[in-house]
Chains A and B, each alone.
Chain A
Amino acid sequence: MSQTNAIEVKNLVKTYGDVYALKNVDLNIADGEYFVLLGPSGGGKTTLLRSIGGFIRPDSGSVDIKGKNVDNLPPDKRPTSMVFQGFALFPHMSVSENIGYGLKIQSIENNIIENKVSRMMDLVGLTGFSKRKPHELSGGQQQRVQLARALILENDVLLLDEPLSALDAQLRKDMCIELKRLQKTVGISFVHVTHNQEEAMSVADRIAIIADGEMIEQGTPKEIYSNPKKKFTAEFIGEKNIFNGKVLDVNKSTILVDIESDKIEVANKNYKISKNQGVSLSIKSESIKVDKVKVSKQPQENKVIKGKITEITFLGQFVRYLVLLNNNQEIQVRSHDEVSNINVNDDVMLSWRLEDFLVHEG
């Protein structure tokens, strides 16, 4: 990955009436990077993508592509191509006509177009489909045609607006692998909008979480998944065990947080927080261990809290326990093996490693 920026978005604002679709969004996307804009529907990610593509004119702020300001350029004059949501093909044209149309209108010679089209069709895995009409193709194949139609123009950036949302789950997984492979092959930046975190994790070099028109946080898939900075991110990527609390004490290695009924000590990973600040904590359900309370063994300080089993569900690979804590909040525990002799309504002890609990702002 080189250091130059393919896309630089500065202070972008877009309103619809009183509603902010984008609130002062800044974003840098590197050359050759697979960047995913992830967030809930209506959060502004598509507005951001369309502003980059030139389909939406923002109220203020600027967009630079490859170091050149493109604020006043229409979509076709920007070095971007777009893959649209749904199956946005010309219904009356064959696969090869669809792919070659962008070149045809530039009055490029037919044999050059034919060559490029057939190379593109090989690249996206549509060899032999050139005469088919869109309605004779499956959903996945139609999206491949869209990809080829966009990539054939050899622009610097490919914008993908929920490209896989109309596909079923299995096909979506396969297409994710293909998209990533395709991006590595052509080497340009891809900007991909999705609300599906699994899809985002599997394709992205970097992810930006966008909600309510704001950039919540950015990071690699690993950072976003295992160390989300914001509570919203933790919730959005599917964390079930989130607790609100107040910081009681901060020292170099640990932080003590009060979650009403219990005090939880967590490892301090250079968090920028201070005493009495409201924070939230989260822990992955597979990082908690559940044990039967034994009279002889007193619970160790802090790392262990007590609870009561309310539900045990067998989920194939996992057994899921729902445990009611003293503050009446439920916590989810997922364990690979069933813990013996635990039944609903039993009192249990929950334990974890200090560093498994994460602290989030807000």
Chain B
Amino acid sequence: MVIFFVLPLMLTVVWSVFERTMFWMEPAFTLFSYENFFFSSRLENFISSMLHSSISVVCAFFIGFPIAIFIRRRVKKVAQHRVMLLFILPFMVSEIIRIFALRPILSRNGVVNSFLMDLNLIDTPFSVFVFTPTGVVIGEIVSFLPFMIFSTFLALEAIPNYIFEVCSDLGVNRRRMFKDILLPLAAPGLFAGSVFIFVNGIGIALIPTILGGPGSVNAGLIATQAIIALDFPLAMAVSAIMMFTLMGLLYLGHKLFDLTKLLEPIS
């Protein structure tokens, strides 16, 4: 814990207040990097990347959770893990290639647009699918959806079958089953999946690099660009801000929803 979490975190904070030199940095105490972050478009980018990540989390929930429920409830027990395996297959392909492959699919002349045009559903192709924040959100959903499915499926798998039998004996309808039973019992999995997608959404530079336009820069990309510009203190400052933001959000979530209750062992 100390070696892998506290120490890197402290180093990040310490380095972020160092002074920038030509190729590296030297010990000092300056808030220049933070100024550089907060009084530039970087702050705006950072906030919008959090917004985009949140949208991705919500979309992944609405797409992924029903898939997990379907697999748990409708697929035969023996086949469930095989179906889950299907969602691992995309990871056999490098992430760069996977995300890059979205370009020809989503672009103006891409597969999706030509398909919609051929069906005469639209007259002019959509241009919002790539090189826009929408493209980034789509990329994030495509990349991270399996994690939402995995984590919620694992939580649902832990629900014993008798729960569903009791529900059918009591006459619980689908809506109530979702609200009263599945949602609360899968909450730990939903939480884990959401945190994972949110963190990666603001942290992974690859997706906005490949699918984002000028307006879609996330924290990971800001840090990467800073490193390319050899501004290490700024990169550290961005990382530190990212971590403190996440800690703050977790704390807020804890205050609002009582995470210990959420994660307390059921059964």
Contacts and interface: CB of A to CB of B under 8 A. Distances in A.
Nearest to A88: B162
Contact of B266 (A82, A86, A91, A102): A91
B162 A81 contact: no
Interface residues of A, number: 24
Interface string A328-349: 0000000000000000000000
A76 B170 contact: yes
Residue in B170, B181, B184 with the greatest tally of chain A CB atoms within 10 Å: B170
Contacts of A86: 160, 162
B171 A76 contact: yes
Interface in A101-132: 101-102, 105-106
Interface string B60-92: 000000000000000000000000000000000
B170 A91 contact: no
Interface in B179-212: 180-181, 184-185
Contact of B171 (A77, A84, A88, A149): A77
B41 interface: no
B170 A105 contact: yes
B169 A92 contact: no
Given A88-B160, A90-B163, A105-B176, A82 B169 contact: yes
Contacts of A150: 169
Contacts of B97: none
Given A91-B267, A134-B267, A135-B265, A55 B168 contact: yes
Contacts of B168: 55, 74-76
A49 to B, nearest CB: 12
Nearest to B177: A105
Contacts of B185: 91-92
B172 interface: yes
Contacts, number: 57
B165 interface: yes
Given A92-B184, A105-B176, A84 B166 contact: yes
B40 interface: no
Contacts of B171: 74-77, 102, 105-106
B120 interface: no
A58 interface: no
Residue in A85, A88, A134 with the greatest tally of chain B CB atoms within 10 Å: A88
Contacts of A105: 170-173, 176, 180
Contacts of B173: 105
A91 B181 CA distance: 10
Nearest to B158: A91
A53 interface: yes
A11 to B, nearest CB: 25
A75 B169 CA distance: 5
B158 to A, nearest CB: 10
Interface in A247-299: none
A90 B176 CA distance: 14
Nearest to A135: B267
Nearest to B267: A91
Contacts of A82: 165-166, 169
A151 B224 CA distance: 64
Interface string B154-165: 000000101101
Contacts of B266: 91-92, 135
Contacts of A77: 171
Interface of A: 53, 55, 74-77, 81-82, 84-86, 88, 90-92, 101-102, 105-106, 134-135, 149-150, 153
Interface of B: 160, 162-163, 165-166, 168-173, 176, 180-181, 184-185, 265-267
User: Which 4 pairs, one residue from A and one from B, show the smallest C-beta to C-beta distance?
Assistant: A76-B171, A88-B162, A91-B266, A102-B170
27 contacts: A53-B169, A55-B165, A55-B168, A75-B165, A75-B169, A75-B171, A76-B169, A77-B171, A82-B169, A84-B162, A84-B166, A85-B162, A86-B160, A86-B162, A88-B160, A88-B162, A91-B267, A92-B184, A92-B185, A101-B170, A101-B180, A102-B170, A102-B171, A105-B171, A105-B172, A150-B169, A153-B170
